[in-house]
Amino acid sequence: MLRIKRVPTVVSNYQKEENGEHPNRSTAGCGRNCLKNCCIQDAKLPLYAFKRLTKNGGKEELLLHACKEEPPVAFLDSLLLGEWEDRVQRGLFRYDVTACETKVIPGEYGFVAQLNEGRHLKKRPTEFRVDKVLQPFEENKFNFTKVGQEEVLFQFEASEDGEVQFFPNAPIDIDNSPNFVAINVSPIEYGHVLLIPRIFECLPQRMDRESLLLALHMAAEAGNQYFRLGYNSLGAFATINHLHFQAYYLAMPFPIEKAPTKKLASLNGGVKTSKLLNYPVRGLVFEGGDKLEDLSNIVSAACICLQNNNIPYNVLIADCGRQVFLLPQCYAEKQALGEVNAELLDTQVNPAVWEISGHMVLKRKKDYDEASEANAWRLLAEVSLSEERFEEVNALIFEAITSGEIDINTQCLDEVDAITSSGQSAHSDHAKMADSQECVVLQ
Q: In this structure, are residues 367 and 103 in contact, taking their beta carbons and an 8 Å threshold?
A: no
Closest to 206 measured CA to CA, from 310, 296, 355 = 310
DSSP string, 240-304: -SS--EEEEE-SS--HHHHS-EEEEEEBGGGEEEEEE-SSSS--EEEEE-SBHHHHHHHHHHHHH
Taking CA atoms, 21 is separated from 86, 93, 121, 251, 363, in Å, by 22, 15, 18, 36, 26
* Helix (H) or strand (E) run with residue 387 in it: helix 387-401
Q: Categorise residue 427: left if φ over 0, alpha if ψ from -120 to 50, beta otherwise.
A: beta
Strands 323-328 and 313-318: antiparallel
* Helix (H) or strand (E) run with residue 382 in it: helix 373-383
Closest to 193 measured CA to CA, from 297, 287, 88, 116 = 88
Query: Would you name the residues annotated as active-site residues?
Result: 244
Taking CA atoms, 157 is separated from 23, 55, 275, 315, in Å, by 28, 19, 33, 22
